[in-house]
Structure 1
Amino acid sequence: MSDVVRVSKKLSWLLRHGAGEKGLAMSADGWAAIDDVLALLEIDRPALDRAVERNDKNRLQVEGSLIRACQGHSLAGMPVTVEALEASWRRVHPTGSLWHGTTPAAVPAIRRDGLRPGRRTHVHLAPSPDSHVGKRFTAAVLLRIDPTDLVVFEAPNGVLLTRHVPPAAIKWG
């Protein structure tokens, strides 16, 4: 694994899941001081910049002296809030189908309960079946979602997010 990938994974983990555990001060919409992140991860600014620039899913966002993960935050142990994240994203009104990749084992629960974010703040959706953002490459089941009655947001990296997809919005077959 290259140093860039290693640093990118550390940054993504810290900013999406580990801020509370590591004591990183973070705003409710996920922003943290770059200097604090550098000190916690024991990396330098050029390494951080390379990891941000080369991240294949553009998961990380830098503005001035601040950095954040665009989306994908855990709920437990993180200082982010659903409301603050949504306020920082763009509300969109998709007219075509959206997509969500999952596993065969998850299908019975999805049929019953719809798509729930689990331990994350939001359900991730993709704008197209071949999108490289918003769904896992390893997904064996690709679900088509009707967004008509959903409140959908777009993160800066193009991932579409919603709080919940009810079973009726999932188009099977």
Structure 2
Amino acid sequence: MSRDSRRISRLLRHTAGERGLTMSADGWAAVADVLQVLGMDRRSLEVAVQQNDKQRLQVDGDRIRACQGHSLDGMPVTREALENSWERVYPDHLLWHGTQAAALDGIRVHGLLPGRRTHVHLAPSKDSHVGRRSAVEVLLGVDPRDLTVYRAPNGVLLTRFVPADAIVRADAVHPARWSAS
């Protein structure tokens, strides 16, 4: 991912509030405002969006947003508005979440929590590039039957919370297979 892509993603996912960027509750901001805050030109933004390896950024005319992965603290987005902008899906197979082995004890007790983010990220398959994280040691298989699941425009599956009893499988992962690309 390019430096510009990281800067845009960070602004639209985590720092818009503290940087004074006006943003809608579902994450849209004016491209002109993003360019001004970041001191970029439109061509650099277009290249950064195109080269974003996880397709995190979505442009619609003169507005832009991060597809998912927003922080809750200090951001003008809301869970409800984001969910209304995503597609509700009804998966009938296991979904996957990558994590560190050290996190398993807490997950067994509390389930998967979004932490400081709006939602828990899930992937549609074990080998999916969608929702992939670097340094994953364990893949957790999640039974989605009792979950409300959404698909962001970039294909990442999201839910507010995964209870511990919905986690039905844990598979060790060879680290090189899931390293950052």
State the TM-score bracket (shorter-chain normalisation).
Answer: over 0.9
Aligned partner of 1:63 in structure 2 is 60
CA distances 1:21-76 after superposition (whole Å, capped 9, x unpaired): 10000000000000000001001000000000111110000001000000000000
Aligned partner of 1:35 in structure 2 is 32
Aligned partner of 1:15 in structure 2 is 12
Aligned partner of 1:142 in structure 2 is 139
Aligned partner of 2:165 in structure 1 is 168
Aligned: 1:109 with 2:109: no
Q: Provide the C-alpha distance between the structure 2 equivalents of 1:73 and 1:85, rounded to a whole number of angstroms.
A: 9
- Identity of paired residues, percent? 65
SS in structure 2 of the partner of residue 91 of structure 1: strand
Under a length normalisation based on structure 2, what TM-score does the superposition of the two structures give?
Answer: 0.92
Q: Displacement of 1:172 after TM fit?
A: 3.2
SS in structure 1 of the partner of residue 2 of structure 2: helix
Under a length normalisation based on structure 1, what TM-score does the superposition of the two structures give?
Answer: 0.96
- Moved >3 Å (runs of 4+): none
Aligned partner of 1:127 in structure 2 is 124
Give, as a single letter, the amino acid of the residue that structure 1 aligns with 2:99.
Answer: T
SS in structure 2 of the partner of residue 30 of structure 1: coil
Contact residue 124 and residue 135 of structure 1 kept, 8 A: no
Q: Provide the C-alpha distance between the structure 1 equivalents of 2:134 and 2:70, rounded to a whole number of angstroms.
A: 19
Gaps of 5+ in 1: none
Q: Provide the C-alpha distance between the structure 2 equivalents of 1:171 and 1:135, rounded to a whole number of angstroms.
A: 19
Gaps of 5+ in 2: 171-181
Q: Displacement of 1:134 after TM fit?
A: 1.2
Aligned partner of 1:156 in structure 2 is 153
CA distances 1:113-155 after superposition (whole Å, capped 9, x unpaired): 1000000000000000011121313210110000010000000
Q: Displacement of 1:85 after TM fit?
A: 0.2
